[in-house]
Structure 1
Amino acid sequence: SKMFYGGVKPEMVSDKFSFTEGPSTDKEGNVYFTDQPNDKIYYWDWKTNKVIEFLNKTGRANGTHFDKDDFLITCSDDQGEIWKISKDKKVEVLFKGFEGKRLNGPNDVWNDSFGGMYFTDPLYERDYWVDFKQETP
């Protein structure tokens, strides 16, 4: 199977990141992604081929996905939270636990067209977690 359209080859847009994660596209086709160790979210503007910083201090966002209303949903694993971020950078913590227990480290997320959300919560202990104690098996 062919991964690219005829004659189109992958090209590096930037190499200034430490460790990129969680690419997802908004309704305009811009690709948002995290630079997890640096606690930032960027997006690639496909019209200008430029990478633009979207948000600093992201709760160590990892996986991302856009919901049906074009809000950016992030797995912000610093405190084990799921965030909802508007295009004007207003952050709402959707939830930070399950049945009163802290999530481990939300990692990847996907939203369906009905408003449902699916995410993973593996335990990959992070060296930046302070006083972490596993509460969710």
Structure 2
Amino acid sequence: MNQITSCYQIDDPRFRALIQQNARLQRVATGFEWTEGPVWFADHLLLLFSDIPANRMMRMTLDGHVSEFRGPSNYANGNTRDVEGRLVTCQHGSRSVTRTEVDGSITVLADSFEGKRLNSPNDVVVQSNGAVWFTDPTYGILSDYEGYEADPEQGCHGVYRLDPVTGDLRAMIIDFVQPNGLAFSPDEKTLYVAESGSSHNLEVPSVIRAFQLNDDGEVLSNKVFATIDQGLPDGMRVDAQGHVWSSAADGIHCFHPDGTRLGKILVPEVVANLCFGGPRGNRIFIAGTTSIYMIAVNAKSAVSG
């Protein structure tokens, strides 16, 4: 039987070891249209995140001060950092994946595949070898709300890999309705990808799929890893012990590496994404529609911030 204590729903006793039961969910910033893509910069002690419909990216310092980082942002959505610490961003408006260089200039990493424009890159992760993986659903071209309405040119809604040496772009997974958030297991042998197609078709299951990969990123096998019972999975992160922390309509769902749901962090707004951060790396920053929330946990990211 599920036990709800404060902002926690404990489905499995193992969840207690991952949370600070005295910690409380804090709303640390608000007044946004739709927050997404939080990414922590440990070297600067600040959080960057997207406010998609407002066409801007924001920065927040530890004292809660919020300012605009980039506007217009080309309707930026998901963000991450590469192995050199540079910001990598999915942009709905330009239908591209970009990298912000140290001098502030922007390099386009990918905006087309096989001579046709990408749909609207949504979320992105970078492997330790420098390979850039991103999802390409059509959310940014469905209307003028989070991008520019347009007809898709790609024949699939794919998961792509950009080779760090050759720059070649390959569609590695092509059987999603709407691929969304993605994250690697600590050993990078498993890629987790969220299926968010139920946003427009309730017959699409709200699941996270797990793909076993070889060293070249090719899929060896795949399975349904977990099902989200409230809303749909969007952004997600994996901690150093391999637990998967996924966004959902009612908050953050935490899954054991075997797929068992351990519990939830309940949030009063629909959650789109999250990331680990804070001075010691043990806080979760939550992108919850109009607000950014924060809570301390007993877990840290599988990747350095």
TM-score range normalised by the length of the shorter chain: 0.7 to 0.9
Of residues 59, 69, 80 in structure 2, which corresponds to 1:43? 59
**By how many angstroms is 1:87 displaced?**
5.3
Q: Paired residue for 1:14?
A: 29
What RMSD over aligned residues (CA atoms) do the two structures have, in Å?
1.8
**By how many angstroms is 1:90 displaced?**
2.0
The structure number with the bigger radius of gyration is: 2
Aligned length: 135
Gaps of 5+ in 1: none
The alignment's TM-score, normalised by the length of structure 1, stands at 0.87
The alignment's TM-score, normalised by the length of structure 2, stands at 0.42
**Helix, strand or coil for the counterpart of 1:52?**
strand
Contact kept, 8 Å, 1:41 with 1:53, in 2: the verdict is yes
Superimposed CA distance per residue, residues 22-47 of structure 1 (whole angstroms, 9 cap, x where no aligned partner):
1111232422110000111112222x
Superimposed CA distance per residue, residues 97-127 of structure 1 (whole angstroms, 9 cap, x where no aligned partner):
1111100011010111110111100112132
Could you tell me how far apart the structure 2 residues matched to 1:10 and 1:4 are? 11
Please list, as runs of the form range in 1=range in 2, the aligned pairs for 1:106-117 lying within 5 A after superposition. 106-117=121-132
- Greater RCO, CA 8 A, separation 6+: 2
Gaps of 5+ in 2: 1-14, 156-305
Could you tell me how far apart the structure 2 residues matched to 1:114 and 1:84 are? 16
Matched, 1:129 2:148: yes
Paired AA for residue 126 in structure 1: S
Could you tell me how far apart the structure 2 residues matched to 1:109 and 1:67 are? 10
Contact kept, 8 Å, 1:55 with 1:89, in 2: the verdict is no
Q: Paired residue for 2:68?
A: 53
**By how many angstroms is 1:53 displaced?**
1.6
Matched, 1:32 2:51: no
Contact kept, 8 Å, 2:95 with 2:119, in 1: the verdict is yes
Contact kept, 8 Å, 1:83 with 1:92, in 2: the verdict is yes
